[in-house]
């Protein structure tokens, strides 16, 4: 029987260096000989990427918070059924740039939506599936926004202001504290080299543990 792959997710607010660090994590896992699929949310399939565009696009009409939540879970359902679940079942590991912790943080924390609504959708759409490991890259919101530079066209989320991102960060940290076995926080404020050393330090034993499982 093929051993189910592991599901690893990376989270963080603006300016934490998510893309660079995901590339680092990907290379690290591939060097261990792990068959890996790199993906992202919202998105990860052609249809889910179309939903992503709807979510990120700025328009005159205000997007209702519940509409936003449902679109996120619509994209997630498609992504899960078409990409994530088949990969895991086939023994590949999946590394996803964001997953449902982002919904708790952005829609729950940032938008103030009722958490039980998110929990309900999570259970209905994902069933038992939860990430095996989540790394939260954490940074002071002001510093993150400075680092992100906020140049050029900002998308619908990037266009939000400091108080929104403060709420998102707070919700992320709360969520991470609630699942200490699955989630690890990495301080993303030092230099890239130091951040990547911290990532390696938490990743190494966890990967060894995963590989040793029957």
Question: Does 9 sit near ligand TMP (CB under 6 A)?
Answer: no
Q: In terms of CB distance, is 42 or 131 closer to ligand TMP?
A: 42
Among 10, 22, 29, 72, the residue binding ligand TMP under the rule CB under 6 A is 72
Angular region, 38: left φ>0, alpha ψ -120 to 50, beta rest = beta
Question: Does 51 sit near ligand TMP (CB under 6 A)?
Answer: no
What the block records as the tokens of 204 is 């190494």
Among positions 31-50, residues that touch ligand TMP (CB under 6 A) are: 40-42
Dist. CA 65–CA 70, nearest whole Å: 9
Q: Give 133's DSSP letter.
A: E
Q: In terms of CB distance, is 93 or 106 closer to ligand TMP?
A: 106
| From 26-34, 78-86, 99-107, 136-144, span contacting ligand TMP (CB under 6 A) | 99-107
Which residues, including other chains, have CB under 8 Å from residue 28's CB and lie 6 or more apart?
199, 200, 203
Dmax (CA) for the chain in angstroms is: 53
Q: In terms of CB distance, is 78 or 103 closer to ligand TMP?
A: 103
Among 117, 157, 166, 206, the residue binding ligand TMP under the rule CB under 6 A is 157
SS3 call for 114: coil
Contact footprint for ligand TMP (CB under 6 A): 40-42, 72, 98, 102-103, 106-107, 157
């Amino acid at each position: 029987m093929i051993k189910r792959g592991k599901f690893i997710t990376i989270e963080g607010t603006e300016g934490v260096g998510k893309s660079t660090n995901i590339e680092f994590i990907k290379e690290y896992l591939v060097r261990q000989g792990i068959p890996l699929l790199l993906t992202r949310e919202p998105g990860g399939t052609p249809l889910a990427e179309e939903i992503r565009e709807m979510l990120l696009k700025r328009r005159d009409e205000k997007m209702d918070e519940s509409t936003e939540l449902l679109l996120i879970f619509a994209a997630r359902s498609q992504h899960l059924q078409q990409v994530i679940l088949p990969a895991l079942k086939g023994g590949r590991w999946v590394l996803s740039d964001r997953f449902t912790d982002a919904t708790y943080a952005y829609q729950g924390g940032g938008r103030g939506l009722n958490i039980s609504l998110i929990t309900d959708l999570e259970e209905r759409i994902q069933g038992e599936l939860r990430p095996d490991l989540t790394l939260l890259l954490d940074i002071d919101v002001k510093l993150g926004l400075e680092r992100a530079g906020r140049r050029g066209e900002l998308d619908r989320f990037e266009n939000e202001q400091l108080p929104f991102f403060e709420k998102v960060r707070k919700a992320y940290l709360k969520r991470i504290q609630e699942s200490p076995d699955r989630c690890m926080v990495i301080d993303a404020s030092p230099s890239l080299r130091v951040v990547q050393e911290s990532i390696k330090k938490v990743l190494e034993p966890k990967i060894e543990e995963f590989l040793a499982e029957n």
